[in-house]
Structure formats: structure tokens, C-alpha cells
A and B are shown apart, each in its own frame.
Chain A
């Protein structure tokens, strides 16, 4: 299994501000994935973060809105920029290992 720690677990943010979510994995992984789960919805992949290169974003997600850092093989951050109420979601960090995809407990953001 993989142990994934995410911070913050939840936060309430004001419109127009930015928040950075941290993801720490217990061992080195090549790829880390960031997902968003809007209320009552499924999980949607935001981007794939590889160490040493720019993140690869899925359709509908852009770097200016969701900048990602991957400074080493165990850590990544996702920033949600210039937030609006539509950004209220759970953001999840994920890694694959031995054929299974493991998820952090998620960061629940509420934007007022």
C-alpha cells in the first residue's frame, strides 16, 4: 500500500484568493495525479505531475488556474488560483503502485 498525506484536509476560502494543497507520499513514485471531485460528482483528473518536468493537464484544466509543482519524487503541490465558488470541491492526490491507484484523504475546499 501507499501512504499519502494531504494538507489541508479542509479549508474555507474567500473568492479571488489562492490556496495551495500539499501531497506527501511515503515512498518515491514517478507519477502523481491530481483529481477533483465536485459535490455529488465523480472524480475528474486535473493533471499528471512528473518530477523534473511540467505537469500534463487534461482538457478543461490550465496551468494558470491550477499550477502544480513536483520538486521531488515524494512530494507535489496543487494551487487553486483566483478561486470562485465553482472551485468548491474535494481535491485528491493519487499515486499508482503495484497496479493499484492509491488516494489521499482529499482536501475539501469551500469557496465563499
Chain B
């Protein structure tokens, strides 16, 4: 069975601090895709990144970076120099097939305090 675990339910940090959101996944498939989505207070889901199982390169996009480690089945997300606008719920997700249904973790609610 496939599963995504986000052990951190809620995190609060002061603005400009770095914060890492953890994601651990379970699957027996050798091909899969991992995602991160952001859901700000307004409610819409914002796509952040997709990573396939054959690409373990870490990725950096501005203040955001992702660490994908197959050895530990983890796909962690780090925000550097956090800002108040980063306050949101962040979901890690998993799918076995491109463009197919995805399984979401329970999400981590991130509060960035001014």
C-alpha cells in the first residue's frame, strides 16, 4: 500500500528562520512521483514541485529547496529565510503513475511569526 507521512502537524518559526518540513513515503513500486503543494489561507492548492523516483537530485528554487533520499524514503522541504507569506498548510503527496490520482499526507501547518 502507498502512504505518505508528515509527522509534523504544526510548526511555528520566527520570520527569517529556516524551516524544514518532513515527508516520508511508502510504496513498493519502483516508479513513482512525489509532490509538494501549498495551501494558503485562501484555500487554493498551489503546486510547488514534482520529483520522479529516478531523479534523486536535490532541487533549489529561490528560498525553497527539496531533499529527496530514496534510502530513507524521504522527500523533505526546506524554506530558507522564511517570510510571513510562507504561512500555509503544506502537503506532500505521492502517485504511482504520471497524471494519475495522488495520495496526500495529512499536511503540516506552518506559521511564520513576524
Q: Which residues of A contact B (CB under 8 A)?
A: 30-31, 33, 41-45, 48, 90, 92, 95-103, 105-106, 108
Which residue in chain A gives the minimum CB-CB distance to B105? A42
* Contacts A44-B104, A101-B99, A101-B102 known; 20 new A-B pairs at CB < 8 A: A31-B100, A42-B104, A42-B106, A43-B104, A45-B103, A48-B101, A92-B45, A95-B99, A96-B100, A99-B33, A99-B98, A100-B47, A100-B50, A101-B47, A101-B95, A102-B47, A103-B44, A105-B44, A106-B43, A108-B43
Contacts of B47 in A (CB 8 A): 100-102
Can you name 16 A-B pairs with beta carbons within 8 Å? Answer: A31-B99, A31-B100, A33-B101, A42-B91, A42-B104, A43-B104, A44-B104, A45-B101, A48-B101, A95-B99, A98-B99, A99-B52, A99-B99, A101-B95, A102-B47, A105-B44
In which size bucket is the chain B interface? Answer: 20 to 34
How does the 8 Å CB contact mask read for B71-87 relative to A, with 1 for contact and 0 for none? 00000000000000000
In the bound complex, do residue A101 and residue B35 qualify as a contact, i.e. CB atoms below 8 Å apart? Answer: yes
Instruction: Map CB proximity to A onto B14-27 as digits: 1 under 8 Å, 0 otherwise.
Output: 00000000000000
Q: Is the CB of A99 within 8 A of B50?
A: yes
- Shortest C-beta distance, A103 to chain B (Å), equals 4
Bound-state Cα–Cα, A44 to B102, Å: 9
B103 touches A103 (CB 8 A): no
Most chain A CB inside 10 Å of its own CB: which residue of B45, B91, B100? B45
Contacts of A30 in B (CB 8 A): 99
- Of chain B, the residue at the smallest CB distance from A90 is B43
A102 and chain B: residue at smallest CB distance:
B47
A41 to B35, CA, bound (A): 18
Chain B residue with minimal CB distance to A58? B101
CA distance A26 to B74 in the complex (A): 35
A42 to B102, CA, bound (A): 12
